[in-house]
Each structure stands twice: as structure tokens, then as C-alpha cells.
Structure 1
Amino acid sequence: MNKRLVGFGLLLIFGLLLAVVPARAAGSPDAVLGVWKNGEGTGMIQIFKKADKYYGRLVWLKVANTPAGTPRTDVNNPDEAKRKTPLKGLENMRDFTFSGDNKWEGGKIYDPKNGSDYSCEMTLVDANTLEVRGFIGVSLFGRTDVWKRQMMKK
């Protein structure tokens, strides 16, 4: 009787695993929505959806103001006309599409530290961990940053 019970228990666990794994792999296109802190802890990005694409904007900066007390601006932007644009609120991620398996691809990410635009893809590792990979050309030549989901106070 004990062997039957153990066998049934193992079968039940295996069945549950089979049911959970495909659901995890499929993922939800909107699972990436929310506020994320970058790996350095210097900024928070809100990922949002417009039509069928995903975008991101800077909503918090660890150092929000210059030494003079004015809001930090996009001083490294190659377009001189945009150098006075405040960093807070800046849309720095654009045009991502959900490709399945917890991955968003085909997007661009702008780095205000150097004024450069990179191809980008995002992978949701778990509900609170997002890998953001910026690259030039192919994904092999790039850098991955690990972002953590932030729970916003109401």
C-alpha cells in the first residue's frame, strides 16, 4: 500500500510540473509592465504599453538634480536641441514586441550617460527579475543588466 501511495504522489507531482512548465514558458505579454530599478540602482524605469508595443520611461533618479539644484537634463544627447530635456520622464525604451517565452525583442534603448541608442531585448527571468540586454548589431556583442521590480506605494 505504501509503494502505491508513493507512486501516486510522484505521478501527481510530475503531472503538476508538466502543467506548470508550459504555462511559465508561454508567459503573459503584459508581465513586463511595471516599474523596474536598474542594476546600478541609479534609476527606475516604468515599462508601459502603447498599442501592441512596449516602451519605457525614466520615472526616478537617485541623483535627480545637478549640483546647482536644477533637474538633470539629457546633456549627452547627440541632438543639441534635446540636451535641455529633463531626464525624469524621458522615454528611453521603445518599440519592443512580445516574442513568447517571456521575451520582448526588436526594441531600442537609449543610454543618457553617453547619448547612444542600442538594439535591445528583455527577458523576464521571474516575476521580479528582468534581464535587459543592449547591443550593437548582434546580441552576442552587448551587455546585460539585471533589473528588479519595484512595488510602488499607493
Structure 2
Amino acid sequence: MTCRSGFMVAMLMALLVAVPAKVQAGGPDGIWLTQAGDAKVRVSKCGGGICGVVVWLKDPIDPATGKPQIDDKNSNPALARRPIIGLSLFAGMRPAGAGKWSGQIYNADDGKTYASSIAVAGPDTLKVEGCVGGFCGGETWSRTTR
């Protein structure tokens, strides 16, 4: 093996290692800041799909009670006492194409669950959409750090 071919093998190996790292950086795994900037959600692989859990709130303490924010908009009394931090937002979020998932998303702002789709729109951009009937609304989440 000549020095030049050794260099080429080393370059190819470096490229093969770098490609999966770049793909991973553009995937859904990570911490995402909601469009309003009021919450951060950790998205990770789970089962055959993805999960999303609230890990941070801009205002973690309810000013009315002086206690941590709870899921008080939920119509189920047993669930209305659970803390927002640690709350799972995605249900049945399964692959629906390259960089896309569909399932359900829970909206703690109104205590309701909606049909949802999530798509990686760029290395640091996640499109999140929820639908009820024929009406859909969405927002763009930005990749962030803890």
C-alpha cells in the first residue's frame, strides 16, 4: 500500500464515519424550543416511532398557586394534576415517510389531543401540525440545547 492509497483509505473511512453523524444531526432526536418559546420538548426514538416530553417551561411556576404548572386544562380529573414538566406530548407517533411521523399530539394549552404530523424541515427545524376535522394548524420548532 502506497502512502497515497493509505491516505485515500483514511479519507474514505473518515467520510463514512462523518455521514451518519450528519444524518443524525438533522433527525428529530434532540431538544426543541416551541415556536412561542414557552417550552422545550425532548424528542427521542421510542418503540418504532418517536416520543416527545416537555423538559422545560419558560414559566414553570403557576403565578396563581405558586406551585409547578400542572395539566389543569385536561378534562380527566386524574390527569389534571400531573405536572407539565415531564408530560408526554406524542402518542403513536410512527414513521410516515422520510423525516416524517404521524400520530397524535397532546396540547396542554387546551387539554385536547389532536391528529398530528411532524416533519424534519431542516437540520434545526421541526414542523409540528395538529388537525381536528379538516382544520389544521401548525408551528415550527427550533433545535436548541438544554
| TM-score range normalised by the length of the shorter chain | 0.7 to 0.9
After the TM superposition, which residues 63-78 of structure 1 pair with which residues of structure 2 at under 5 Å, given as runs? 63-67=59-63, 68-78=65-75
8 Å contact kept, 2:54–2:85 = yes
Structure 1 equivalent of residue 83 of structure 2:
86
SS of the equivalent of 1:147 reads strand
Supply the distance in 1 between the matched residues of 2:30 and 2:91 (Cα, whole angstroms). Answer: 15
Structure 2 equivalent of residue 125 of structure 1:
121
Instruction: Report deviation, 1:92.
Output: 1.2
Q: What residue identity is the alignment partner of 2:33?
A: K
Structure 2 equivalent of residue 143 of structure 1:
137
Supply the distance in 1 between the matched residues of 2:100 and 2:89 (Cα, whole angstroms). Answer: 19
Q: What residue identity is the alignment partner of 2:94?
A: T
Identity, % of aligned pairs?
28
Q: Choose between structure 1 and 2: higher helix proportion.
A: 1
Q: What residue identity is the alignment partner of 1:77?
A: N
Greater alpha carbon shift after TM alignment, 125-134 vs 42-51 = 42-51
Supply the distance in 2 between the matched residues of 1:97 and 1:88 (Cα, whole angstroms). Answer: 23
Structure 2 equivalent of residue 115 of structure 1:
111
Instruction: Report deviation, 1:103.
Output: 1.1
8 Å contact kept, 2:73–2:111 = yes
TM-score (normalised: structure 1)? 0.74
Instruction: Report deviation, 1:102.
Output: 1.8
Instruction: Report deviation, 1:108.
Output: 0.7
8 Å contact kept, 1:119–1:137 = no
Q: What residue identity is the alignment partner of 1:150?
A: T
Supply the distance in 2 between the matched residues of 1:101 and 1:54 (Cα, whole angstroms). Answer: 13
Instruction: Report deviation, 1:101.
Output: 2.7
Supply the distance in 2 between the matched residues of 1:94 and 1:48 (Cα, whole angstroms). Answer: 13
Supply the distance in 2 between the matched residues of 1:100 and 1:118 (Cα, whole angstroms). Answer: 20
Which 5+ residue runs of structure 2 have no aligned equivalent? 1-18
Instruction: Give the RMSD, CA atoms, in angstroms.
Output: 1.9
- Residue 52 of structure 2 corresponds to residue 56 of structure 1: yes
Supply the distance in 2 between the matched residues of 1:102 and 1:53 (Cα, whole angstroms). Answer: 11
Structure 1 equivalent of residue 8 of structure 2:
none
Structure 1 equivalent of residue 92 of structure 2:
95
SS of the equivalent of 2:36 reads coil
Q: What residue identity is the alignment partner of 2:76?
A: D
